[in-house]
Structure 1
C-alpha cells in the first residue's frame, strides 16, 4: 500500500517531520498548551492526570524508602546561592530574579517599585535554600540520615522552549538528604537511581540505560551525577532523571555539621535527585504513533473508556443502563493492586468523534456497547496497541478475567517494543572517528536510515574529543554502570581507553 495514501490522525507523521509531529500529538491528546508567558505551559486535565499518576506512584516508592515530604520557599536570597560558587555558575544564565516588591502607577502604567535590599532568585533548584534549613535541623549523628523530598515548581529561563521538554517553568520532585558517612550517601544516590529506573521501566514502560555522567555533564557542585537515559523514536536521547552525590560541598557552604559518635564535629554528606514533567514528553516520544498518544496502562488517567452506541433514540435508556452495568463490573477489577480506572462517555457527540478523541488521547482499552451488545450480553473491545478497526467481542462474564489480562499485555508490549527499538539502534561496532562522524551525520550516503541512535564505545575522556562531539552536536550521555572492563581504543581519538560510554544527540 502506498504510505502516502494512508490516512492518519496526526499530520505530519513521525517520518515527515518529527518535531512538528510531537507538537501535534500534544495538541491532539489535549495534554498542554502555550501560555501568555513565553516559555511557560498550561498543563491541561489529561496531561495533569498523567502527572498526578506519576506523582502518586513515585511518591509511594519514595516514602517506602523512609523519605518524608516537605515544602521550601520559592524565592532564594542571592547571598545563599553565592555561597556555592560552582553551583551559581551552573545556573546563572537561567535564573529569573526578583528585584522589586510592589507596583506603582506612573503615567497611567504600572511600574515596579520598592527595590529589594537583596535580590531574590526564583527557585532553579533548592540545594542552597534547603541546605540553610538543614543546617538548623542537624545537630547530632542521631538526627541522621535526614531524608526529605518536595514536589514543587522551578524556573529556568530557557531560550528555546519546547512543551514538556524544556520550559521556563516546570514541575518536579526533588529529594535532598544528609548522611553521616560517604558510603551511606553514595548508597542513597544509587538507591534512588534504581528507584527511578524501576519506575520508568515498570510503570512508564520506557527502557533506560543507567550510568554515571561525565565530568563535563555533572550537576553543578556535585561530586558525581548518575542518570537514566532513554531513546526516543527519532533516536535521540532524553535525560529522564538524575541522582547526585554532592559529597560535603553543599554541607560546607551551608554549614550542615553534626556531632559524631566520638563527640567530634564534622560536615554531613548530602545527595539530591529528581524527575520532572519532562517524563510526559518522554512518554509522548517513546510510545506514540501517527494516530496520537499511546499510554501504558499503569500511567493512563483512564485505562478503559466505554462509548455507548445509540443508533436510535428509543434504545438510549437501555444502552446507557447496560453501559453503567459494564462500568460497575470493570470498576471492581484490579490491575497491579490498583482499581481499574473506567469512564462512560455519555457526552452528546457522535460515536465516531468520541472514539477518535480517545484514540488520540491514548486510552489503552475502548469498549463500545450498543443494542446488539446488549442483546448478546457482551461488549465490543478495541485495543490502542492494535489497528483502530480491529475489534474483539467479549462476553460480559469474561470481563473480570480479560480486562486485567489485556491491560498487562499492552503494558508489557509497549515496553518490549520500545526496548527492541532502542537495542536495534544502539551501535556497538563503531571504532574510528570517521565511522562515528558518518553515523551522526544525517543524509549522508545512500542509506540515511542507518545514521543516528546511540553509540556504545570506548572513550579516553580526553578533552581533545570535545571538538568532534561539539561539531556533531553529540554528547556523552553516560558511562554505563555495567562496564566491560576491557581495554581498547577511544572511538574519538584513537588513544588507549578502558571506559565504556554512550554517545548520542539529545533533547
Structure 2
C-alpha cells in the first residue's frame, strides 16, 4: 500500500463528485473502479512480507519452519513513520478484519466482532432500561419514500446505493439500500401513533447500512457497508425529546470511556455540521493523537417536527379545552434519532495501538489473559513437558472459573518468544508465563501489554489478582488517553496562532460567532493551499472544520470578544472546537 499516510487517504481534495445517469442513479467510472480494486489489493498485501526479523527467534530449535510459514510476521513499520501501512498491517495480522472482492466491504473476524458484541450488550441494556424496544425494518426503501424529506435525501444523495433489477427483470421502481432508516420507519410511525397515549414510541434496530462512499475506504472508519444501531423515538414535547437526546449521548460516551478506554468530548454540532433534516445534533468527538485529528465518534439528533410534518405523524392536543362536538387541534410529534457504529473499533485501534500492534482494553478483549508454558527445550522429557502443560491448563481453568477470558497457548513447534510476539501483536492485555521454576515457586510471571510492566502473581491468588489487574489496566489506559487528549486541546484567541497551533497536532478551542459562512472561511483559510500560509510540509493539507460546541465551555466568553476569524466582524458567541478531522 502507498505510504502517503492514512490521514491523506481520508481527504477528498482530489475526488470529484460522482457522475449520475439520466435516471439520477450514482454511477462509477470504470477507471475509478479499477483504481479502487488496485488499492484494495495493495492494502491487503503488506509491503514487507520477507523475513521475520526478531519474531520467533527463541531458544528452541524446533518448529522454525512452522514459524517461518506463518502469515504473522510482526508489524514491519512504525506507527509514526507510516500510519496507513501500520493500520492496515495491524487489522490484518491481528486478525481483526479481512478484505473481500467488493471494495469498501469487509469481513468482521471474531476478534473485532466480539468487541461489537460487548458494545451491543452494554448499550442494549441501557436503552431497554429507558423503555426502548428492538425491532427490524426492511433493508430497501422506495425512491418515493426516500425523497419525501428534501434536506434529508440531499444529505445522502451521493452515497445511496440503488437496486434496479430483480433477478432477470428490471424493476419498475428502483429501490434504495438504506443509508439510514428515517424514511423507512416513519410511515409505520404515522400509522402506529394515533393518540397522545401512544407516546412515547421508542424503537431501535441493530442492523447494517450501506453508504456508497466515493472517498478512499478505510476499514472500520469509512466503509460502504457497516454495522450500527439506530434508535428512532417519538415524543409529545420538545422537552421530552431533548432529555432523551442527552441521555443517549451520555450512554455513547460511556461506551467509549468505560469499554474502549477512549476519551471523548460531548457537545453540539454547529448548523453547518448537523445531521440533514435535524432540529439540532449532539455529538461526542474523539481524537487520534498520531495525526492530531478529531473524529466524530457518535451522534444523537433531535429531529424536531420536520419528519413528523412530512409523514403526517400527529396526535390531538390533550391539553386543549374544547366544547362538545369540537375537535382538538392536531399536534406534530417531536422525534429523535441516534446511532452508534463499528467506526468505534477503528478509533480504539488508532488511539491505543503501538509499534507492536494492537493494544485492546480488557473489557472488550476476546482474550483477556494468555497462558504460555515456558522453560521447555530439547532437554525436556516428554513426561516433564506433559506435566508442565497439565499444570498450566489447571491455571487456565482457575481463571475461566473466575470469569477471565483465558487462552492457553501450548502449541508445539513454536518458541515461547514467537508466542510472546504474536499475542502482543494481537493486543491481549495480560500475558502469564509459567514454567518449571515458576511452578516450584508457586507463582507465574505476568506481563502487561499496555506498559510492558512485569510482576509475579502467586498461583493461589490468580483468581482474585488477575481480575484486579485487568481493571487497573482498563482504568490506566483511559487515564493515559485522556491526558493526551487534554494536552492537545488548545485555547487559541488570535488568528495568527490558529494554523501554527493546529499544525502541532492539536484541536483548537476558539471564540466563534457560530456563523456558517464564517466556518467555511476558516476551513478554507487554514488549508495548506492558501498562498503564503505557513504550513508544515508533513502536516495534512486540509483545513480545520468545526468539530463541536463543547458542552463544557473552557471559560465564559467575555463581552466584546470578537470571532477568531479576522474576516468576521461579529462578536463571538461560544467557544467552538475546530480541528482537522476524519
Deviates more, 1:72-81 or 1:312-321: 312-321
The answer to whether the 8 A contact 2:357-2:426 is kept is yes
- Residues 50-449 of structure 1 aligned to structure 2 (within 5 Å): 50-103=115-168, 114-159=169-214, 160-234=216-290, 235-262=292-319, 263-309=328-374, 310-311=376-377, 312=380, 313-333=382-402, 339-350=403-414, 351-387=416-452, 390-428=453-491, 430-441=492-503
Deviations 1:43-66 (A, max 9, x none): 112111221212122222222222
Q: What is residue 34 of structure 2 aligned with on the other side?
A: none
Q: How many residues align?
A: 475
Unaligned regions of 5+ residues in structure 1, if any? 1-5, 104-113, 334-338, 442-450
Aligned-partner SS, 2:76: coil
Which one has the bigger strand percentage? Answer: 1
TM-score (structure 1 length as normaliser): 0.90
Instruction: Supply the distance in 2 between the matched residues of 1:345 and 1:72 (Cα, whole angstroms).
Output: 43
Instruction: Supply the distance in 2 between the matched residues of 1:63 and 1:304 (Cα, whole angstroms).
Output: 31
Instruction: Supply the distance in 1 between the matched residues of 2:298 and 2:108 (Cα, whole angstroms).
Output: 20
Deviates more, 1:53-62 or 1:452-461: 53-62
Q: What is residue 106 of structure 1 aligned with on the other side?
A: none
- Give, in angstroms, the shift of residue 440 of structure 1: 3.1
Q: What is residue 445 of structure 1 aligned with on the other side?
A: none
Instruction: Supply the distance in 1 between the matched residues of 2:413 and 2:577 (Cα, whole angstroms).
Output: 49
Unaligned regions of 5+ residues in structure 2, if any? 1-52, 56-73, 320-327, 528-542
TM-score (structure 2 length as normaliser): 0.79
Instruction: Supply the distance in 2 between the matched residues of 1:323 and 1:255 (Cα, whole angstroms).
Output: 65
- Give, in angstroms, the shift of residue 465 of structure 1: 4.1
The answer to whether the 8 A contact 1:74-1:123 is kept is yes
- Give, in angstroms, the shift of residue 340 of structure 1: 2.2
Deviates more, 1:341-350 or 1:401-410: 341-350
2:538 matched to 1:476? no
Aligned-partner SS, 1:489: coil
- Give, in angstroms, the shift of residue 7 of structure 1: 7.7
- Give, in angstroms, the shift of residue 316 of structure 1: 2.9
Instruction: Supply the distance in 2 between the matched residues of 1:11 and 1:439 (Cα, whole angstroms).
Output: 31
Q: What is residue 512 of structure 2 aligned with on the other side?
A: 459
Please report the RMSD computed on the Cα atoms of aligned residues, expressed in angstroms: 1.8
Aligned-partner SS, 1:379: strand
Deviations 1:25-50 (A, max 9, x none): 21221111221001111111211122
- Give, in angstroms, the shift of residue 349 of structure 1: 4.3
- Aligned match for 1:489, one of 539, 556, 562: 562
Instruction: Supply the distance in 1 between the matched residues of 2:484 and 2:296 (Cα, whole angstroms).
Output: 17
Deviations 1:295-352 (A, max 9, x none): 111111121111233433322322222122212221232xxxxx32222224334132
Q: What is residue 503 of structure 1 aligned with on the other side?
A: 578
| Residues 7 and 208 of structure 1: CA distance in aligned 2, closer, same or farther (over 3 Å) | farther
Deviations 1:118-156 (A, max 9, x none): 111001000111111111221111111111111101101
| Residues 264 and 500 of structure 1: CA distance in aligned 2, closer, same or farther (over 3 Å) | same
Deviations 1:435-483 (A, max 9, x none): 2122334xxxxxxxxx221101101123134123135221100001123
Aligned-partner SS, 2:549: strand
The answer to whether the 8 A contact 2:502-2:508 is kept is no
The answer to whether the 8 A contact 2:249-2:283 is kept is yes
Q: What is residue 446 of structure 1 aligned with on the other side?
A: none
Aligned-partner SS, 2:486: helix
The answer to whether the 8 A contact 1:436-1:492 is kept is no
